[in-house]
Chain A
Amino acid sequence: MGFFVLIFAIRNFAVLIKVLFEILGIMGKTLFEKVWDAHSVKTLANGQTQLLIGTHLIHEVTSPQAFGMLREKGLPVKYPHRTFATVDHIVPTNESAEPYSDGLAQGMIEELRKNCEDNDVTFFDTNTGAQGIVHIVGPEQGITQPGTTIACGDSHTSTHGAFGAIAFGIGTSQVRDVLATQTIALNSLKVRRINVNGVLAPGVYSKDVILHIIRILGTNGGTGFAYEYGGNIFDGFTMEERMTVCNMSIEGGARVGYVNPDQTTFDYLKGRNYCPEGEAFDEAVIRWKAFASDDDCQYDDIVEINASDIPPTVTWGINPSQGIGIDEMIPTIESGETQSERASIQEALEHMSLDGGSPIKGKKIDVAFLGSCTNGRLSDLQEVAQYIKGKKVAEGVKAIVVPGSQVVGKIAAAQGLDVIYKEAGFEWRGAGCSMCLAMNPDKLVGNQLCASSSNRNFKGRQGSITGRTMLMSPIMVAAAAVTGEVADAREVFGFES
Chain B
Amino acid sequence: MSDQSILNVKGTGVFVAGDDIDTDRIIPARFMKCITFDGLGEFLFYDVRKNVDGSMKEHNLNDSRFAGANILVSGNNFGCGSSREHAPQSIQKAGFDAVIAGSFAEIFFGNSTNLGVVCVVVDDAGRKHIVEQLELNPAEPLSIDLEALKVTIGPVSVQCSIKEGARDSLTNGRYDTLSELLDGAATINSVVSNLEYMKS
**Does B bind A?**
yes
Give the interface of A toward B (CB within 8 A). 38-42, 44-48, 50, 52, 54-55, 61-62, 64-65, 68, 73, 75, 79, 81-82, 90, 102, 104-105, 107-108, 111, 145, 147-148, 153-155, 157, 168-174, 176-177, 180-185, 187, 219-220, 223-224, 250, 253, 255, 274, 276, 284, 287, 319, 340, 343-344, 347, 437-439, 456, 458-461, 463, 465-466
Given contacts A177-B181, A284-B196, A287-B196, contact A219 B33 (CB under 8 A): no
B window 43-97: CB within 8 A of A: 47, 52, 75-77, 80-86, 88-89
* Chain B 181-200 interface 0/1 with A at a Cβ cutoff of 8 Å (1 = within): 11011011001101111101
Given contacts A459-B25, A463-B29, 20 further A-B contacts (CB under 8 A): A46-B172, A54-B195, A61-B32, A65-B35, A73-B178, A104-B34, A155-B107, A157-B83, A169-B107, A170-B83, A171-B88, A173-B115, A174-B114, A183-B181, A220-B80, A224-B106, A250-B107, A439-B32, A460-B25, A461-B24
Residues of A contacting B164 in the complex (Cβ-Cβ under 8 angstroms): 47
- The answer to whether A52 and B191 touch across the interface, beta carbons within 8 angstroms, is yes
Residues of B contacting A465 in the complex (Cβ-Cβ under 8 angstroms): 28, 47, 52
Give the complex CA separation of A102 and B34 in angstroms: 12
Closest to A173 in B: B114
17 contacts between A and B (CB under 8 A): A39-B195, A45-B174, A46-B168, A50-B180, A62-B85, A64-B36, A65-B36, A73-B178, A111-B35, A172-B84, A172-B85, A177-B178, A253-B80, A284-B197, A287-B196, A343-B18, A456-B22
- The answer to whether A460 and B24 touch across the interface, beta carbons within 8 angstroms, is yes
Residues of B contacting A220 in the complex (Cβ-Cβ under 8 angstroms): 20, 76-77, 80, 103, 105
- The answer to whether A145 and B83 touch across the interface, beta carbons within 8 angstroms, is no
Give the complex CA separation of A456 and B24 in angstroms: 10
Q: How close is A380's CB to chain B, nearest CB, in angstroms?
A: 22
Give the complex CA separation of A64 and B33 in angstroms: 11
Give the complex CA separation of A466 and B114 in angstroms: 33
Report which of A46, A172, A184, A347 forms a contact with B169, defined as CB distance below 8 A: A46
- The answer to whether A181 and B182 touch across the interface, beta carbons within 8 angstroms, is yes
Report which of A65, A157, A340 forms a contact with B37, defined as CB distance below 8 A: A65
Number of A-B residue pairs at CB separation under 8 A: 212
- The answer to whether A171 and B191 touch across the interface, beta carbons within 8 angstroms, is no
Q: Is B126 an interface residue (CB 8 A)?
A: no
- The answer to whether B105 and A253 touch across the interface, beta carbons within 8 angstroms, is yes
Report which of B35, B47, B165, B178 forms a contact with A46, defined as CB distance below 8 A: B165
Residues of A contacting B86 in the complex (Cβ-Cβ under 8 angstroms): 172
- The answer to whether B181 and A185 touch across the interface, beta carbons within 8 angstroms, is yes
Report which of B25, B37, B82, B194 forms a contact with A155, defined as CB distance below 8 A: B82
- The answer to whether B33 and A90 touch across the interface, beta carbons within 8 angstroms, is yes
Q: How close is B181's CB to chain A, nearest CB, in angstroms?
A: 4
Give the complex CA separation of A38 and B114 in angstroms: 25
Given contacts A65-B37, A182-B188, contact A438 B30 (CB under 8 A): yes
Q: Is B159 an interface residue (CB 8 A)?
A: no
Closest to B182 in A: A181
Q: How close is A485's CB to chain B, nearest CB, in angstroms?
A: 25
Given contacts A50-B181, A185-B181, contact A458 B24 (CB under 8 A): yes
Closest to B24 in A: A458
Report which of A46, A181, A184 forms a contact with B174, defined as CB distance below 8 A: A46
- The answer to whether A181 and B178 touch across the interface, beta carbons within 8 angstroms, is yes
Closest to A67 in B: B35
Q: Is B176 an interface residue (CB 8 A)?
A: yes
Closest to A274 in B: B200
- The answer to whether A61 and B84 touch across the interface, beta carbons within 8 angstroms, is yes
Closest to A443 in B: B30
Report which of A105, A147, A180, A439 forms a contact with B182, defined as CB distance below 8 A: A180
Report which of B19, B85, B165, B185 forms a contact with A48, defined as CB distance below 8 A: B165
Sorted from nearest, which 5 A-B pairs have the closest CB atoms? A169-B83, A171-B111, A171-B85, A64-B35, A155-B83
Q: How close is A490's CB to chain B, nearest CB, in angstroms?
A: 31
Given contacts A42-B184, A52-B192, A185-B181, contact A437 B29 (CB under 8 A): yes
Given contacts A38-B195, A54-B195, A456-B81, contact A319 B20 (CB under 8 A): yes
- The answer to whether A82 and B35 touch across the interface, beta carbons within 8 angstroms, is no
- The answer to whether B184 and A460 touch across the interface, beta carbons within 8 angstroms, is no
Report which of B25, B124, B192 forms a contact with A458, defined as CB distance below 8 A: B25
- The answer to whether A253 and B106 touch across the interface, beta carbons within 8 angstroms, is yes
Residues of B contacting A287 in the complex (Cβ-Cβ under 8 angstroms): 196
- The answer to whether B168 and A47 touch across the interface, beta carbons within 8 angstroms, is yes
- The answer to whether B180 and A44 touch across the interface, beta carbons within 8 angstroms, is yes
Q: How close is B155's CB to chain A, nearest CB, in angstroms?
A: 25
Residues of B contacting A347 in the complex (Cβ-Cβ under 8 angstroms): 18
- The answer to whether B33 and A223 touch across the interface, beta carbons within 8 angstroms, is no
Q: How close is A266's CB to chain B, nearest CB, in angstroms?
A: 15
Give the complex CA separation of A148 and B200 in angstroms: 13
Report which of B25, B181, B196 forms a contact with A184, defined as CB distance below 8 A: B181
Give the complex CA separation of A102 and B181 in angstroms: 38
- The answer to whether B30 and A463 touch across the interface, beta carbons within 8 angstroms, is yes
Residues of A contacting B30 in the complex (Cβ-Cβ under 8 angstroms): 438-439, 463
- The answer to whether B20 and A185 touch across the interface, beta carbons within 8 angstroms, is no
- The answer to whether B52 and A155 touch across the interface, beta carbons within 8 angstroms, is no
Q: How close is A211's CB to chain B, nearest CB, in angstroms?
A: 16
Give the complex CA separation of A108 and B80 in angstroms: 25
